[in-house]
Amino acid sequence: MHWRWFAGYRGRQRRSREAGAILFQGLRIRLTLWYCAVMGGALILFGIALYLGTQYALFSPIETDAAAHAQGHRAQWLADSPLRACPLLNGHNPGPLPPPPGQGFQLPEQVVCFDQSGSLLSGENTSGIAPAFLANTLAKTALQTGQPAHDIVDAGGSEGQVYRYALVVPGSNGRGASGVIVIGESVRAQASALSSLLMLLLGIGSVALLGAGIGGLFLSNRALAPARLAWTNQQRFIADASHELRTPLTLMHADADVLLRGRKHFDADDVELLQDIVSEVNHMARISDNLLTLARLDTNATHREHEVIDLPQLAQAGARRVQTLAEQREISVKVEATGDPHIIGDPMLLEQAVLILLDNAIKYNRSGGQVILSVSEQGKRAILQIRDTGIGIAAEHLPHLGERFYRVDKARSRQIGGTGLGLSIARRIILDHNGEFTLTSVPQQSTTVTLTFPM
């Protein structure tokens, strides 16, 4: 039952790792995010413009009407008395007044008057009027600046939000101020319309962004289809070319070996040339093999087994395989295991990855140095570390390690047979096993590669 589920899971995972799936998935997501960002920016700009335009269209007539009301009451104050200009001084509270006749005013008004110190005129009947409308903050602002002032307050109840406009009444001698007239007009309908517009914009914007995300996924998939096809063809070409190169390289190597057997018949210079040919053919053969391996890994053309692997035994097997090379360079290889973690994977591929890492640890080590393989468990993860006491790697090179054909020291890498593809192969094998590949280094001291697998 469990093995059947595991096989189905691995089958789904293998299908998800089709040619270019990992590479193009990130591009698809980034393109979709760009589509959504552009759409979101356009919607925000449109929404702000529409909201501000609607706000201006709704409140501009209110502001004009309130200013006209205030001018009319100020004229009454100056021509007659505050008693005619301020209805609340009549001893009763008439509530919102109809617009004065014959002056073209549109909306009912509320009027309250303040003296030159910003206090309500004595004798005003303010019963039943919202305290927010009677607040003297707007009147004081107008007195301090000498200019009209306006704001919106929440009067509560049936009135809702009220637009207030304050106008200073100049003194009789033209100096100072006699008082302030504050006109109020209800903007409950306008505020409700703006609130409804805001909710509508948020709702439409959310639906539009969702549609942009779905459409962006579709469009990005269509846009990347030619690139995905080109990438697949490129991988197929690399695999085919690498495979076709193996035969002529093998023949060249065999012919050069045959000639070297009769080296006593050649001049010393010719023998050196033949040895150089053999060396270069070997180098090209390694590059061809590595390219073929990478192409097969990229296209999942490599058959993968799924077996239970004893990680300490895998480390021991790798150490035995490189023992001769390590002894030639006077380097000791040790295996340290705490626990006995097991993982599931292809033993041949994982051993190939470990051998690549051990080969690097030996080649870039010092004579008399050490290579230590340590196996441990951490929670539900199995950890294999390969640590050397070599020359280390500078920090600026670490982000590029694992890139194909990237070599820290090209001259030295070529001298010791490096192709710049080993770490790429090892990293890809580890990632294909749902593992994590981490490399840290201290220049002139050590380099540590940490492989983490699910147990």
β-strand pairing of 332-337 with 370-378: parallel
105 in a structural domain: yes
Q: How far is CA 77 from CA 36, 105, 241, 255, in A?
A: 59, 18, 99, 118
- Fill in the DSSP letter of residue 159: T
How many angstroms separate the most distant Cα atoms in the chain? 134
In the DSSP assignment, the letter for residue 97 is B
The separation between the first and the last C-alpha atoms of the chain, rounded to the nearest angstrom, is 19
Q: Dihedral angle at the C-alpha atoms of 226, 231, 235, 240, nearest 10 degrees?
A: 40
pLDDT in tens, 23-36: 677 788 888 888 88
In terms of DSSP H, where are the helices of 121-187?
A: 131-134, 137-145
- Which pLDDT tens digit goes with each residue over 232-246? 766 676 666 666 666
In a domain, 204, yes or no: no
Cα(151)–Cα(156) distance, integer angstroms: 15
For residue 7, being part of any structural domain is answered with: no
Choosing from 138, 166, 188, the residue where a domain stops is: 188
Cite the DSSP H helix spans in 262-336: 268-298, 311-321, 323-328
For 28, the token pair is 């698809």
Per-residue pLDDT reduced to its tens digit, 247-271: 777 777 777 777 777 777 777 777 7
Q: Which amino acid is at 137?
A: T
71 lies in some domain? no
Domain harbouring 376, CATH code:
3.30.565.10
* Band of pLDDT at residue 19, cut at 50, 70 and 90: very low
pLDDT at residue 404 in the model: 59
Element at 336 (helix H, strand E): strand 332-337
- pLDDT for residue 20: 57
Span 2-19, average pLDDT: 38
pLDDT value of residue 7: 36
Burial code of 271-281, b = ≥16 C-beta within 10 A, e = fewer? beebeebbeeb
pLDDT digits (tens, 9 = 90+) for 318-358: 888 888 888 888 888 888 888 889 988 888 888 888 888 88
Predicted confidence (pLDDT) per residue in 392-412, tens digit: 777 776 666 655 555 565 544
d(CA 31, CA 225): 13
User: Are 255 and 384 a contacting pair, CB within 8 Å?
Assistant: no
Question: Which H or E run includes 113?
Answer: strand 110-115
The average confidence (pLDDT) of the chain is: 78
Q: State the pLDDT at residue 182.
A: 92
Tokens representing residue 400 in the block: 């590029």
Is the distance from CB of 21 to CB of 213 less than 8 angstroms? no
> Starting from the edge strand earliest in sequence, which strands make up the sheet with 370-378, in order?
332-337, 370-378, 381-388, 446-454, 436-442
Q: How far apart are CA 439 and CA 448, in angstroms?
A: 6
Which tens digits make up the pLDDT trace of 125-170?
Answer: 777 788 888 898 999 999 999 899 999 998 887 778 899 999 999 9
Asked whether the predicted pLDDT for residue 13 surpasses 60, the reply is: no
Quickly tell me which residue has 């008004």 as its tokens.
Answer: 109
Is 400 inside any structural domain? yes
What pLDDT is stored for residue 411 in this prediction?
42
What is the model's pLDDT at position 289? 66
Residue 222 pLDDT more than 50?
A: yes
What total of structural domains would you count in the chain?
2
| Of 412, 451, 447, 415, residue with least CA distance to 434 | 451
Looking at residue 407, what is its pLDDT? 59
- Give the percent of the chain with pLDDT over 90: 13
How far apart are alpha carbons 438 and 390 in whole angstroms?
A: 17
pLDDT at 88: 79
Please report whether residue 383 resides in a domain.
yes
Q: Could you give the residue ranges of the DSSP H alpha helices within 80-160?
A: 82-85, 131-134, 137-145
Lowest mean pLDDT among 3-7, 38-42, 155-159, 377-381: 3-7
In a domain, 316, yes or no: yes
Could you tell me if 308 and 441 lie in one domain? yes
How far apart, in whole angstroms, are the C-alpha atoms of residue 355 and residue 351? Answer: 6
Where among 173, 188, 203 does a domain terminate? Answer: 188
- Judged against a pLDDT cut of 90, whether residue 365 lies above it is answered with no
Among 188, 219, 241, residue at a domain's last position:
188
**Do 182 and 308 belong to one domain?**
no
CA–CA gap between residue 274 and residue 264 (Å, rounded): 13
Helices 347-363 and 311-321: crossing angle in degrees, nearest 10, is: 50
CB neighbours of 228 closer than 8 A, spacing ≥ 6?
19, 20, 24
Looking at residue 107, the DSSP 8-state letter turns out to be: S
Say if residues 358 and 322 touch (Cβ distance below 8 Å). Answer: yes
Instruction: Give the residue from 182, 179, 169 showing the smallest Cα distance to 116.
Output: 179
Backbone torsions φ then ψ of 177, nearest 5 degrees: -140, 140
Residue with tokens 């501000």: 52
Within-domain flag for 420 = yes
Task: Give the structural domain span for 93.
Answer: 80-188
pLDDT in tens, 161-203: 899 999 999 987 767 788 999 998 888 888 899 999 999 999 9
Query: Are 89 and 124 within 8 A, CB to CB?
Result: yes
Lowest average pLDDT, out of 38-52, 94-108, 216-230, 405-419, goes to 94-108
User: What would the pLDDT profile of 415-424 be if each residue is shown by its tens digit?
Assistant: 555 556 777 7
The CATH number given to whatever domain includes residue 115 is: 3.30.450.20
Q: How confident is the model at residue 10 (pLDDT cuts 50, 70, 90)?
A: very low
